[in-house]
Amino acid sequence: SRHLVWLRADLRSIDNTALSEACRDPEAEVAALWLVTPEQWRRHGKAGCQLDLELRTLRELSVTLEALNIPLLIREVPDFAAIPALLLSLCQAEGIDRVYWNKQYEWNERVRDKAAADLLRANGITVEMHADQCIIGPGEVLTGDGRFYSVYTPFKRNWLSQIYERGVRVHPAPLKRQSAWTRPDPVPTSVPGFESHVPLPELERLWPGGESAALARLEVFTDKHARRYRELRDFPALSEATSGLSPYLAIGAISSRQCWQAAANELAAYGPSADIDHWVSELGWREFYKHILVGFPRVNKHRPFRLETEQLRWNDDEEAFQRWCDGKTGFPIVDAAMRQLRATGWMHNRLRMIAAMFLTKDLFIDWRKGERFFMQHLVDGDLAANNGGWQWSASTGNDAAPYFRIFNPKLQSERFDPEGNFLRRYLPELAGLDNKRIHAPHEKQRDFLLDYPLPMVDHRAACEETVSRFKALGELP
């Protein structure tokens, strides 16, 4: 029999549930498929830098799979709506009788998968969809009365206890097939319309492609840095204090089970560590936001979790939005953050919160505009985490920051970049300032010698205005 594995956000050979299942029958001939869907990607705001990482990862994967006699096929259709028909004609032309994929949890992806499965099954083709993206998948971590959690701490307690109860199993790479029925297609080097905003040599240096690079990064992190995670994770100048695995998790070059296992091995070998527990808890946040997508579908559809916040009248100020995008707000920590995103395709978690809060609370600009801008520039862009992070920062989400607790950019900067090392890296125009002045260069009086803008808003006044607008929503449940 002939099996097809449709790869999406799972670009790896090791611990890929659908791939393992497709290869379970040693007699079966197996091929893999990856689809280019430019029109759909445009609608989703997919970043060119992320696509480039995917293409480089696929190039390695294609070679790995070819050695196992699993050719990787590449096809192009404009959007998700065209996929069911394409899959059916491919199966009919090649005599494929079983199709396998790993579930995705975003709304459009789920609609697409249901349509594809329905059409294939109606034509006598077996479809297997596997839960693979999470250690414990959405729908399996529920409250006592069977509902989705909306608060992280009780979710995490339940999630961890289920993990310990069931154990975590990492699938090895599949065994070599006896033969391949066709040749792999060349993996494209680029797709028109999805150019990376980060220069390619820099992108490749920062984010080398392939599951081998992802596994190497996991090993270095757990060996050398994980035991200081809690202490150092909030300092953006320390680029190795966090794992930097988010781009690989987002495209599936590595699985969360592999991350879990590396952490568990480290704990087993060298004893308990609150730092490693904390890192595992971040993997939990990743899963929590995927559960939220499934449990509360409105967040997939540009709607806030807290529906009463739909009444907020966000400022429609294109010029202010552009200054934020360009890193020219006059608040160094916000500007350095935005320039890190532009220069590397990634932004430190503390800075994502600071930049997102500044856009939504200081400028009172709609979180959805920031969410889309991030998506278009992030190498780790992921709907669940990005939407979750934005709604947390905007106080429109579940378990979000309370609307009256607004980050003060200068205090955040002094606390998390005390020596200004991060600021100097991305704001060379401020490099000559001392460690005190660099956080608010024009605070005492305007410095005409600096080629750096004045703060575009008065932070305190802006916060008062924002708090009063949220308060006017009335009693929040």
426 assigned ligand-binding residue: no
Stretch binding ligand FAD (CB under 6 A), from 107-115, 188-196, 327-335, 375-383? 375-383
Strand, helix or coil for residue 393: helix
Give the Cα separation of 217 and 277 in Å (integer): 19
- At its nearest, how many Å lie between ligand FAD and the CB of residue 387? 8
Select the residue interacting with ligand FAD from 80, 374, 403, 422 (CB under 6 A): 374
287 assigned ligand-binding residue: yes
381 assigned ligand-binding residue: yes
Residue with smaller CB distance to ligand FAD, 100 or 229: 229
Q: Is 378 in the site for ligand FAD (CB under 6 A)?
A: yes
282 assigned ligand-binding residue: yes
3-state SS of the chain: helix, strand, coil percent to 5? 55, 5, 40
Stretch binding ligand FAD (CB under 6 A), from 2-10, 106-114, 164-172, 352-360? 352-360
Beta bridge partners of 31: 4
Select the residue interacting with ligand FAD from 242, 255, 309, 398 (CB under 6 A): 242
Give the Cα separation of 128 and 291 in Å (integer): 21
Residue with smaller CB distance to ligand FAD, 5 or 276: 276
- Tell me 391's DSSP state: H
Select the residue interacting with ligand FAD from 173, 198, 254, 385 (CB under 6 A): 385
- Do 387 and 304 form a contact (C-beta atoms < 8 A)? no
- Do 281 and 263 form a contact (C-beta atoms < 8 A)? no
E strand intervals along 27-155? 29-36, 72-76, 98-102, 126-130
Q: How many residues bind ligand FAD (CB under 6 A)?
A: 28
Largest distance between two CA atoms of the chain? 77
Give the Cα separation of 152 and 143 in Å (integer): 12
Give the Cα separation of 82 and 91 in Å (integer): 15
Query: Parallel, antiparallel, or unpaired for β 126-130 and 29-36?
Result: unpaired
Residue with smaller CB distance to ligand FAD, 327 or 381: 381
- At its nearest, how many Å lie between ligand FAD and the CB of residue 276? 11
Binding characters for ligand FAD, 262-301, by CB under 6 A (x = yes): --------------------xx-xx--x------------
Q: Is 163 in the site for ligand FAD (CB under 6 A)?
A: no
Select the residue interacting with ligand FAD from 138, 252, 381, 420 (CB under 6 A): 381
Residue with smaller CB distance to ligand FAD, 84 or 252: 252
Backbone angles phi, psi at 6, to 5 degrees: -90, 110
Binding characters for ligand FAD, 214-233, by CB under 6 A (x = yes): -------------------x
Angle in degrees, CA 38, 382, 402, rounded to 5:
140
284 assigned ligand-binding residue: yes
Stretch binding ligand FAD (CB under 6 A), from 7-15, 174-182, 387-395, 421-429? 387-395
Q: Is 251 in the site for ligand FAD (CB under 6 A)?
A: no
- At its nearest, how many Å lie between ligand FAD and the CB of residue 474? 26
380 assigned ligand-binding residue: yes
Select the residue interacting with ligand FAD from 244, 332, 397, 409 (CB under 6 A): 244
Q: Is 332 in the site for ligand FAD (CB under 6 A)?
A: no
Q: Is 401 in the site for ligand FAD (CB under 6 A)?
A: no
Residue with smaller CB distance to ligand FAD, 6 or 285: 285
Strand, helix or coil for residue 334: helix
> What is the three-state SS of 227-255?
HHHHHHCCCCCCCCCCCCCHHHHHHCCCC
Query: What single string gives the DSSP state of each residue in 271-332?
Result: ---HHHHHHHHHHHHHHHHHHHHHH-GGGGGT--SSGGGGG------HHHHHHHHHT-SS-H
Residue 124: left (phi > 0), alpha (psi -120 to 50), or beta?
left
283 assigned ligand-binding residue: yes
Q: Is 365 in the site for ligand FAD (CB under 6 A)?
A: no
- Do 53 and 346 form a contact (C-beta atoms < 8 A)? no
| Backbone CA torsion sign across 161, 162, 167, 169 | negative
Residue with smaller CB distance to ligand FAD, 250 or 456: 250
Q: Is 380 in the site for ligand FAD (CB under 6 A)?
A: yes
Binding site listing: 229, 242-246, 279, 282-289, 380-382
Residues that bind ligand FAD (CB under 6 A): 233, 242-246, 249-250, 282-283, 285-286, 289, 349, 352-353, 356, 374, 378, 380-382, 385-386, 388-390, 393
Binding site listing for FAD: 229, 242-246, 279, 282-289, 380-382
